[in-house]
Amino acid sequence: MPLYNVPLDDIRFVLHEVLDVEKTLSDIPAYEETSSADLMDQVLEEGAKICQDVLFPLNMSGDHEGCTFEKGVVRTPKGFQEAYALFSTGGWCGVSADPEYGGMGLPAVMNASMQEMLTSSNMSFGMYPGLSQGAYEAISHFGTDVQKQTYLPHLADGSWSGTMNLTEPHCGTDLGLIKTKAIPNKDGSYAVSGQKIFISAGEHDLTENIVHLVLARLPDAPEGVKGISLFIVPKFLPETGARNDGVFCASIEEKMGIHANATCVMVYENAVGWLLGEPHKGLKAMFTMMNAARLGVAMQGLGIAEVACQNAVAYAKDRLQMRSLSGIKAPDKPADPIIVHPDIRRMLLKSKAFCEGARALAYWAGVTLDLANKHPDKTTRAEADDLVALMTPILKAYLTDMGSEIANEAIQVYGGAGFIREHGIEQYARDARIAMIYEGTNGIQALDLVGRKMSLGYGRLLRQFFHPVMAFIEENQMNASLQEFIFPLAKAFGKLQQSTALIAQRGLKDPEEAAAASVDYLRQFALVAMAYMWAKMAGVAQEKLAEGTGNKDFYEEKLHIARFFFARMLPEADARFKMVLAGAAPLMAMKAESF
């Protein structure tokens, strides 16, 4: 059976020592009572309990049983209803929701840590409240006062859940092709008709109501994405409690993973809905939800990697196989544990280096989101918003790519046992795979980075990352103890700047040049960002060791893993730089007929 222990020490290290969240958020009045280190630690401990003790035990059984569908009704696996009731009663559906609507009002960075724990313990379960958070964000930003009062309290307390309905059978990424229609009714509502596919949590038995946010076209809508509007279509009508008969689930998908989360085909036949936001500007409102979802999906990549890593480490310490090449390490046993072998250590260290670096990077984005949303200074909000916008596609793509990779390496550590269902490790590889696809495939994230984020405001977004990294390098370049980290960071950062300039120059002449470089550029960018985080973590660890405070073994472990990252993982950034230099010709020169 698999295991999972919430890595509270590592989470606290990032929040309190690396990012100093309490100080960072000290100028935000909204967090005056909710950003203290003591309160955050209490929330983390309570969140860890429900994840470890309630949700994790349901993960494997939920995967085996899956959701069932009969006559339009979806039932979640055994134990999910009781677990959700406990989860929502504890207030966990509204961790960062506004207290005005019944939420905890905690910083967004705390929501990020909760999303990590939820995914590690039970990814399928975590998707239900995760989607509700996205619906909450969209309605809170674009809803009328009546819509906010009607929906937000129920989404915050978990009695209602939310979905996002974009994809149709004939279109996925190209939303300009959607055919779902919305016809005005005399009472101000709309009759929504169309079909949506791949709708996560579109139907289930966990909540009293399900609030669908649906992209559709008005009769006077212009062609393309400029003619899309967003509608709130609830399963039950809030005014009367009557069933909204025009919306129903036609079927659920048989999937590779996330079996305990229903992926639905949703049909709308003159379903009653209400416009959310302005006519023909639904894509802007939906992207508020999608951007929140993309950061949530990034946390899914980290969460899966963390639990897979924990299990691989435990197995490597227990599994006996051959003797160490440098001599017997366990003379009292017939063979040494496989953790003595270099290749096993390579996979385990790679997993740990990714998880800890990704956690710091994702939590940095989380606390920056808090600055963007709540800081009283307009300039600070704008700069923070730029950084979050820049980092969102990088986090979504890199963390989910690596989540899948780490899950597969965990299977490799287990060997044949990892391929067998009873050990529970193969589930992580199956569950992780969807995160690279939904909320915009990772290739789309790369195109977003080079096609939109790089050029916006003549590089305005890029400066929000480049400037602090450059300042950190300059500030620490004379620090002898940090030079083993600063020098390779500076070298990789310089090549990232070269890639950026090259893509901008080539892309102006031929957009396919930018597109061809996009995936490699995103990966290069992510590795440099991880190196920045690891250099910061190494600096903190060195300071603590010099002071003689804290757990000596803990900080020495951080330095060991930092050295592994810089020696064995950051060099990939140089390879990606060379791939960017290769240009579009190796990809585009061959005729399509020759494939």
Known catalytic membership, residue 254: no
Q: How many CB atoms lie within 10 A of CB 251?
A: 15
Nearest 10 degrees: Cα torsion 458, 460, 466, 467: 120
* DSSP 8-state code for residue 482: G
Q: Which of 203, 356, 439, 513 is flagged as catalytic?
A: 439
The gap from C-alpha 406 to its chain's centroid, in whole angstroms, comes to 15
Helix crossing, 80-89 with 108-142: angle to 10°?
90
What are the residue ranges of helices labelled H in 415-550?
A: 416-419, 426-433, 442-448, 460-476, 483-509, 511-547
d(CA 541, CA 543): 5
Token pair for 308: 């897979």
| CA proximity to 130, closest of 465, 435, 577 | 435
d(CA 309, CA 299): 15
Q: Within 13 A of 433's CA, how many CA atoms are on the CB side? A: 10
Q: How far is CA 324 from CA 68, 312, 317, 533, 560, in A?
A: 49, 19, 13, 34, 21
Whether the CB-CB separation of 34 and 104 falls below 8 Å is answered with yes
β-strands 209-216, 68-70 pairing: unpaired
d(CA 455, CA 474): 26
What are the residue ranges of helices labelled H in 319-377?
A: 342-374
Phi, psi (rounded to 5 degrees) for 511: -60, -25
Do you know the residue count of the chain?
A: 595
Instruction: Tell me which residues are annotated as active site.
Output: 439
